[in-house]
């Protein structure tokens, strides 16, 4: 029987009602008692790391989860991280960069309703996560929810209440958990060699969402505080002229690579291409930047934090790290100017 470590972090799955609303309070052992069939599925152990709403999750917590998995990696056959749903896609992406080439599965799951409720998705999600974590084809970081198995860099929460809350963006789900086991659509590749753990993330990344009429005056403040600015543009890559002009003027005052600019799109599906329209091409012809293409915002944001944490890199080295595929995160390798 396989030995699994359940890492608990709080979230709705472990919540109980209070006079101020739902609040995570259930211990890991209390959580697993609601799934008595677990004793026939695996040898379960628990590790309580925190008990927070995932709204309060930070990069410091991501590093703590990764460190715990590294510490106990040789002791277990797989890991299940019980997590709140609101920022679980960020954590799944972050862990994909912090723990690479893992032959052992690292599964994130949670619930839209607490496990103690009569009507809940928590029991199914936990059970499905165990089935996934004990499958011989499971490797690396995955998110399991409502029967779907999603690569850690492709998951996104798109519903606030429904049980089918998560989708796989711009890449197929890896598989479905069924009554008979797992129906794999894409099997994670067998890792070669030892897992690679990282223990640093840079918090000097700012995510700027463009809105119609946005004023460029905010940009100098952002450039002063952050080393990387990710711009969520319109459509396939449209940038208002006033923003483009200000960005061009700001970058002129820095050496190449001193500040990193990344262009993404606020449209969830099909990705960006700055060369399609004049409003993107005029920007592309003047500035040196990276393009997110089909990556999710969560993957872009956390991959940049991981990239910037690798110290003393040239612009070209940062570019190559950002574009190198990790856990299905990108289908298109971009080229910068």
Q: Would you please indicate which residues are annotated as catalytic (active-site) residues? A: 12
Which DSSP letter does residue 234 get?
A: B
Classified as helix, coil or strand, 298 is helix
Strands 148-151 and 140-145: antiparallel
Which of 300, 319, 318 has the alpha carbon at shortest distance from 309? 318
The tally of CA atoms less than 13 A away on the side-chain side of residue 22 is 18
Cα dihedral 263/266/270/273 (nearest 10): -30
The first and second tokens of residue 70, run together, are 């590294």
Residues β-bridged to residue 262: 230, 290
* Alpha carbons 106 and 138: distance in angstroms, whole number: 9
* Alpha carbons 72 and 269: distance in angstroms, whole number: 37
């Amino acid at each position: 029987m396989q030995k699994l470590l359940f890492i608990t972090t709080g979230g709705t799955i472990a919540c109980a009602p209070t006079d101020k609303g739902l609040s995570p309070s259930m211990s890991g052992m209390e959580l697993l008692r609601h799934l008595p069939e677990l004793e026939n599925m695996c040898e379960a152990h628990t590790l309580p790391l925190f008990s927070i709403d995932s709204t309060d999750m930070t990069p410091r917590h991501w590093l703590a989860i990764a460190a715990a998995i590294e510490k106990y990696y040789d002791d277990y056959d797989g890991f299940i991280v019980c997590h709140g749903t609101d920022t679980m896609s960020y954590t799944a992406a972050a862990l994909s960069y912090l723990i690479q080439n893992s032959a052992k599965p690292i599964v994130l799951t949670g619930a839209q309703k607490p496990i103690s409720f009569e009507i809940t998705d928590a029991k199914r999600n936990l059970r499905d996560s165990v089935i996934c974590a004990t499958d011989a084809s499971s490797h690396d970081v995955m998110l399991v929810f409502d029967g779907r198995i999603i690569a850690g860099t492709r998951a996104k929460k798109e519903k606030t209440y429904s049980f089918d809350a998560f989708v796989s963006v711009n890449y197929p789900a890896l598989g479905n958990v069924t009554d008979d086991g797992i129906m794999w659509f894409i099997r994670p590749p067998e890792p070669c060699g030892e897992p690679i753990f990282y223990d640093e993330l840079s918090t000097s990344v700012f995510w700027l969402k463009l809105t119609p009429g946005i004023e460029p005056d905010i940009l100098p403040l952002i450039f002063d505080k952050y080393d990387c600015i990710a711009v969520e543009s319109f459509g396939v890559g449209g940038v208002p002229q006033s923003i483009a002009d200000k960005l061009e003027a700001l970058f002129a005052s820095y050496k190449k690579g001193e500040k990193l600019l990344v262009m993404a799109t606020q449209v969830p599906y099909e990705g960006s291409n700055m060369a399609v329209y004049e409003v993107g091409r005029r920007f592309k012809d003047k500035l040196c930047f990276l393009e997110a293409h089909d990556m999710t915002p969560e993957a872009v944001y956390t991959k940049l934090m991981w990239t910037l944490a690798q110290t003393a890199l040239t612009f070209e080295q940062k570019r190559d790290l950002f574009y190198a595929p990790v856990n299905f995160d990108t289908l298109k390798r971009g080229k910068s100017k």
